[in-house]
Every structure is written in C-alpha cells, then in structure tokens.
Structure 1
Amino acid sequence: MASGFRAVHALPMRWRGSTIGALNLFHHAPTAMPAGDLAVGQALADVATIGILSDRASRERDLLTEQLQAALTSRVVIEQAKGVLAERGGIGMDEAFGRLRAYARSTSTRLSDVARGVVEGTLDTATMTPSEGTA
C-alpha cells in the first residue's frame, strides 16, 4: 500500500441489527488484531455509532421544528389574508379562503405567498374580490 499501512481492520458500526458503517483501524505492520484490542475497537465503534445516530436524530428534530414553525407562520398569514379579503369583499371567511386558494392555483403560486402579498398590500386583491368597492 502506498500509504505505508500494511493492515486494515474494519469494525462494524451496528444499531439494532443494521450496519450503518464501519470503523477502520490501520496498522503499519501486517498483524492479526489481539482479542483485547478488538474489544476496545468494537467499543469505540459502538460509541461512534451512538454519537452519529444521536446527531442524526437531533438534526431531524431541528428540521421538523423548523417545518412546523413555518407551517404555523404560514397559517397565521393565511388567516390574516382571509380576514382582509372578507372585509374588502364583504364575504365570509370560507369564501375568502376559496378565493385565495383559487388565485394561488390559477397563478401557480404557493398559497402562503399569495396570502403574504394580500397582507403586505403588494398583491392587488381586486381580482380576488370582484365585489370590492361595490359592497
């Protein structure tokens, strides 16, 4: 081997019957790994496995939290937009939601983006409330 290592020992990183990777140990001389070293190496592989899986779970929890927060924020903006349309068009909240949704579909725009435009006043609501100004 060009790196100068003559022996490689691969220890499985296992969790509940599945192998998620391997811990590789390199030695400069070809040799069998003594049982004691093998036990220590496997213990290190087990600890590394727990660390990797713990980090993965933490990242997944963080992602889920972000997604839930985004959904909640989006829902708040949608409710505000429904209120704006209902007031401007003299319509009920269900009708206002239907119009928001129809506009989003017809323009291939995310519902939350349409709602944000209504709330921020950057989207002309006249197309969503034909009765606007006549109510």
Structure 2
Amino acid sequence: MNEREGPLVKAFVELADTLVADYDLIELTQRLVDDCVGLLGVDAAGLLLAAPDDGLQVLASTTEQARLLELFQVQSEAGPCLLAYRSGVGVLVDDLTVEPERWPAFARRALADGFRAVCALPLRLRQERIGALNLFSTTAGALSSQDILVGQALADVATIGILHQRAATRSETINRQLQTALNTRIIIEQAKGMLAERGGLDMDQAFGQLRGYARANHLRLTDLARAVVEGTAEIGELLDGTAP
C-alpha cells in the first residue's frame, strides 16, 4: 500500500478538484475509471449510470472493449455489473471459466475479449443506488481486499459528488443535466469515430487523442467533441496536436 500512497492521494485530490472547480459529470466518471486502472492493477474499467428513465447507460470506460462489454450487459440485461447495481453489493468473479452458466452470454463475450475476471462495485449511498463500476482483468484471480476497498472508496467519492449535486438542485434540473451528459457521451463517440476514420486510428487511440488535446489546450472534453462533430474544430490539428 505504501508504494501507491502518493498516487492514491493524488487520485482523490483530483477527483475532489473535478467536483469543486467545474462540475463535469463526464470528466468525473472518466477520471474514476482511469484511476481504477492505474491504482488497482486491473486491465480495463467501465461505469454504468442510471438514467432518468431508470435504465442504465455506459457513461465512461477506459477502452473500447470495456465500453462494448458494458453495453452488452445492458442490452442483455444480465451480468455482474447489473447485479451489483440492483443489489447494492459488490460482485466478485475470480474466474469466468468457473460456473460460466451464471451469466453464459456475458461470460462468452468477456472471455472472447480476453477478460478472465471481473469485480463489479455499486455506486451507492445507504439505500440509494445510482450505477455500478466494473473492473476487468485479463488474468484469473481475485482482487485483494485492499484493492476492493480502494475501488469502492473511489466509487463512493463519485457517488457522493453526483448525489450532492442532485441535492443542491431541483430534481428536474438534475435529470436534464444527467440526460445532457448521456447525450454528450453520444457526441463524444461520434467525435471518436470521426477522428478514427480521418487518422486511421482505432477507437481507443482516437479517444486518447481527443482527450489529450482537450487537456493540453485547457478545453472541456465535451465542448471539443461537439466542435469536432459540428465541424468547427479542425480535425487535422487534433491529430497532429497543433494548438488552436
């Protein structure tokens, strides 16, 4: 634990900064999944958030594979992340080849993508549940109890931030903001696709290019993605990193 004390403190400080400085749900959740991969030694992470209509939607992921696997869980209505959300309890799967019949379709898809183990953690505060966090590993084996505690603590920080914002604003306004965030995610996916096609990149590389450019030039990720889709941002500049 001592080796990652510094990175762990930094992760919590940056999450807090995201909440205080300029509340951006997309950036908050993306930072959460990125931190989980960096701190917990997992290979990918994804986050599902409950939409105003009570359905679950993919809001953040560290790789395109993880995003599609999360989306597959939602569409098939079965998987560890959905169970964690519905039960409010963490779901640990040390080896997907053992008892694959528990979630047969999910197990087949995850194994085909190269994932052998999953840890799903709820985003919850007391009795309220707003989503779930999935941690994927390419090797079989359980996360340590310390890793699970850290993962749940990171998820709890994000949960508290989202719920605090809800408490500070009227319910219909928050629902509109949440729907806007979910719609924005669609715009980000469109921008990724445009960059990938123009630059000959895969979707993960395209997202890295988009996010890296936004950070380097102090732009909001959502604003930059919208500019790409609307044609007001020069894609060539994004691909070569030229400042605006």
Q: Taking structure 1 as the reference length, what is the TM-score of the superposition? A: 0.51
For 1:109, give the aligned amino acid. Answer: L
Aligned residues: 73
Alpha-carbon distance between aligned partners in 2 of 1:117 and 1:94, rounded to the nearest angstrom: 19
Alpha-carbon distance between aligned partners in 1 of 2:178 and 2:201, rounded to the nearest angstrom: 30
Q: Which residue of 1 aligns with 2:195?
A: 85
Describe how 1:64-83 pairs up with structure 2 within 5 A.
64-83=174-193
Alpha-carbon distance between aligned partners in 1 of 2:236 and 2:192, rounded to the nearest angstrom: 14
Identity %, equivalent residues: 53
Structure 1 residue 73: Cα displacement: 1.3
Q: Which residue of 1 aligns with 2:210?
A: 100
Quick one: which of 56, 61, 68 aligns to 2:171? 61
Q: Which residue of 2 aligns with 1:48?
A: none
> What RMSD over aligned residues (CA atoms) do the two structures have, in Å?
1.5
Describe how 1:1-135 pairs up with structure 2 within 5 A.
60-130=170-240
Per-residue CA deviations over 1:26-59 (Å, capped at 9, x if unaligned) read xxxxxxxxxxxxxxxxxxxxxxxxxxxxxxx8x6
Alpha-carbon distance between aligned partners in 1 of 2:198 and 2:211, rounded to the nearest angstrom: 17
Unaligned runs of 5+ in 2: 1-166
Structure 1 residue 127: Cα displacement: 2.1
Unaligned runs of 5+ in 1: 1-56, 131-135
Structure 1 residue 125: Cα displacement: 1.1
Structure 1 residue 128: Cα displacement: 2.0
Alpha-carbon distance between aligned partners in 1 of 2:176 and 2:231, rounded to the nearest angstrom: 26
For 1:87, give the aligned amino acid. Answer: E
Structure 1 residue 124: Cα displacement: 0.6
The runs of 4+ residues in structure 1 deviating greater than 6 Å are none
Q: Which residue of 2 aligns with 1:20?
A: none
For 1:96, give the aligned amino acid. Answer: A
